[in-house]
Structure 1
């Protein structure tokens, strides 16, 4: 009984830390108008707060994951909490907008340390019913992302934008106390000093930066030269890492392990659909359905609430039957949910809107947990940090693509017709997701190729 209680508290320590990144990803979106007023900026200027956070997180996730594999999970987890604390203290005091962007980047790096280091700790300390542990983490990360806009609106209304940063402290403190007491001490490393492929990190950072610039260009028309440069950099990075004896990202492993590539690709698609809903639907509800922020927030709770209700049940199912059946269900529910968006019309009953979005909430909860558990079927415990970091980089690639999609569809005007266009695109993406999941084998690691 005591061991179960310790495992539960250890999961809580990781969960409270890992929610900080998705929470701060979405919570800031509702504060952009106030930040424009305070710093006298255009919307394009202030949107860099979101873009730079995406960029820093996409790069930092695998980097901090690799560092946690090399130097210890507890060290990197505690470092991450310190960086989030530092940024949350200083951001409200920013003397200018450039300073605020800098503190947000520090926050992104710190919060990006927590998921890969925490997942490594979970996998090393909890050896039975791991799907249930991952289910709890999925609830915290998925719910915090979905609740971010509603929670951010409440905080801005009652305390202005600095409260968004100060809101992090209860989670930081609780996670710090639990992690300090429960995480086992990192083992002393003998032999030669661990090597980090810093040239690989730099190459990877430039490559990701170029891809994200290309995605962000969609609003003003596709910049084909950016795509060409991004492809060349990707091929160059692949060849560069193949020649390394101790690479930052083991390209030989990725080349041989088709299943991990499928999981990363599928997770990108999941997040394109999910974040298109999270960022697109609230604006549609307020501008077209003429709801206030409170009403839109309540409607959006369907996405978070049904994800929470679904995840514990799915975790038990995965423990019994594996991750593939759950992934198939989640992907199929995404197809159904996005097609149901086509039935939305002006002046629609809020209860019907709530019901439609609840299908997407269920599909996201099932797909997130299924993707996480499927990944670890094909990754050793020693590779958990870098694999988890790349997993979350896939998430941010999907997030950037969703924002590019919304900019192209909603950039000048939001109408029900534009919503239907988004629904069709997301439905096609969901069908591709179903095909990717179907290509995965039913069993686990022994089938990795």
Structure 2
């Protein structure tokens, strides 16, 4: 790999890491934001939800937009949007404005994730596998270290620092990307050939709108009813609007030629569908702990943001250490044994959470985090390998898009689950109920993997 390729890789990596970094740093800031804006936990949890919803919608849209306007332009535009949002967010006098800027930040950082891998694939031709593995380190490392970095920033400064820390990354990435990412010559001709109306149809704007309205409407209805303690007619109407919109979304996606989420694909390839369902459940488990535990530690155990970040670091480090080891194991034995072990660890970790008391030693917290960290490392590699084995080669691009959608849906559902269980404030009893629910989900995953491993391994079914 020559010097120019290395600098290109660094410029893309510095931009791409902003999305997972900002999605994970916020985990240790929830309790602080709840105090600053005098809000219930259910209301503050929207700062998690809106980021993932905006990312889920923006990434596939911006991936298609890059074909029209050019990948370099989309990447640089994403950096500028992220810069503006990160600069203005600390000045927000109202939580509603902070949510808007958080959505803008998610869109900007998603623009870089959507085209970052494509830029590396196209412009780095030597040692491409090494380049892609480095990009994975940027992505997974930023997500794993986010709570630790957020804890340090809030401890030494305040919550505003988790937004301002983006500025040096954005500036460095912009300067390097402007210099080292080549221009997309083909984008100009494509722009002339494709009208705006055709591009709107290509990205399935109607499907995106129905999906967003449906999901937001349903969640607003549920969370609003939970926060006030009773169900009013307004909650019912908003929830019904969400359900009707989701129904219209399904109908639209089955009819359109370029669907936002190709639902027919799930029916056509059941093995791939099972992998996506498992991946969604895995993310519900992991992110329920990832976002829920920091608030529990700070609100119930009265642990500082700094020490909360240190405790959460054990989860991230276990995940990072296990991932390369899991890759070697899966190369030899296939993904199913690793996924079975992952399900066992998640089940044990969830059961362990149910036993926690407000006076339980912190070593028990570390053990649960370690179990989930190791399982996450196994899942990062194992689920991807299972996806490749269950998806036809001619549609691996669509399969990868669906895979990321499953990740975001799982994360969104985890935020909803925490809000419903915890309500206004975090409590030891609420965490125990959350642990019971996570145990049920983990046992379902365990049974799914055990049955498949015992009856017919996925590798054999794909080769037959």
TM-score tier by shorter-chain length is 0.7 to 0.9
Equivalences, count: 445
Counterpart in 2 of 1:209? 216
Distance apart, 1:79 and its partner CA:
2.6
Alpha-carbon deviation of 1:225? Answer: 6.7
Q: Please tell me whether the aligned partners of residues 66 and 248 of structure 1 are also in contact (alpha carbons under 8 angstroms).
A: no
* Distance in 1, Cα, partners of 2:6 & 2:274: 31
Summarize the alignment of residues 240-319 of structure 1 with structure 2, pairs less than 5 Å apart. 240-319=252-331
Change (3 A) 1:300 1:84: same
Identify if the C-alpha distance between structure 1 residues 341 and 8 changes in structure 2 by more than 3 Å, giving closer, same or farther: farther
1:321-370 deviation digits (Å, cap 9, x = unpaired): 55444333323322232223344344333334323321111111221233
2:104 is aligned with 1:92:
no
1:92-171 matches, within 5 Å, as 92-94=90-92, 97-122=95-120, 136-171=134-169
Q: 2:140 & 2:285 partners in 1: Cα distance?
A: 13
Question: Residues 212 and 409 from structure 1, CA distance in 2 versus in 1: closer, same or farther, beyond 3 angstroms?
Answer: closer
Query: Bigger CA drift: 60-69 or 39-48?
Result: 39-48
For residues 368 and 34 of structure 2, the distance between their equivalents in structure 1, rounded to whole angstroms, comes to 34
* Root mean square deviation, CA, Å: 3.9
Which stretch has the larger CA shift, 76-85 or 191-200?
191-200
Provide the C-alpha distance between the structure 1 equivalents of 2:242 and 2:165, rounded to a whole number of angstroms.
37
Picking from 47, 50, 62, the partner of 1:64 is 62
Q: Distance in 2 between matches of 1:130 and 1:431?
A: 39
Asked if structure 1 preserves the Cα contact closer than 8 Å seen for 2:41 and 2:426, the reply is no
Q: Is the 8 Å Cα contact of residues 61 and 390 (structure 1) preserved in structure 2? A: no
Specify whether residues 139 and 430 from structure 1 end up closer, same or farther in structure 2 by C-alpha distance, changes over 3 A only. farther
Specify whether residues 347 and 132 from structure 1 end up closer, same or farther in structure 2 by C-alpha distance, changes over 3 A only: farther
Cα distance in 2 for residues equivalent to 1:262 and 1:22: 25
Q: Is the 8 A contact 1:15 1:137 kept in 2?
A: yes
- State whether residues 341 and 356 of structure 1, in contact with CA within 8 Å, keep that contact through their aligned partners in structure 2: yes
- Whole-Å separation in 2 of the counterparts to 1:325 and 1:9: 38
Q: TM-score, normalised by structure 1?
A: 0.81
1:442: which partner in 2? 458
1:379 is displaced (CA, Å) by: 6.8
Structure 1 partner of 2:23: 25
Rounded to whole Å, the distance in 2 between the matches of 1:317 and 1:184 is 38
* More displaced 10-residue stretch of structure 1: 153-162 or 103-112: 153-162
What is aligned with 1:234? 246
Shift of 1:166: 1.4
User: Do the aligned partners of 1:69 and 1:383 also contact (CA within 8 Å) in 2?
Assistant: no
Matched, 1:351 2:363: yes
Between 1:307-316 and 1:48-57, the stretch displaced more is: 48-57
Structure 1 pair 429/38, CA: closer, same or farther in 2 (3 Å)?
closer
TM-score, scaled relative to structure 2: 0.79
1:237–1:126 distance in 2 versus 1, CA, 3 Å: farther
CA spacing shift, 1:320–1:181, aligned 2, 3 Å: farther
String of CA shifts for 1:194-237, please: whole Å, max 9, x gaps.
Answer: 73232233223223323433563573578777666545433422
SS at match of 1:248: coil
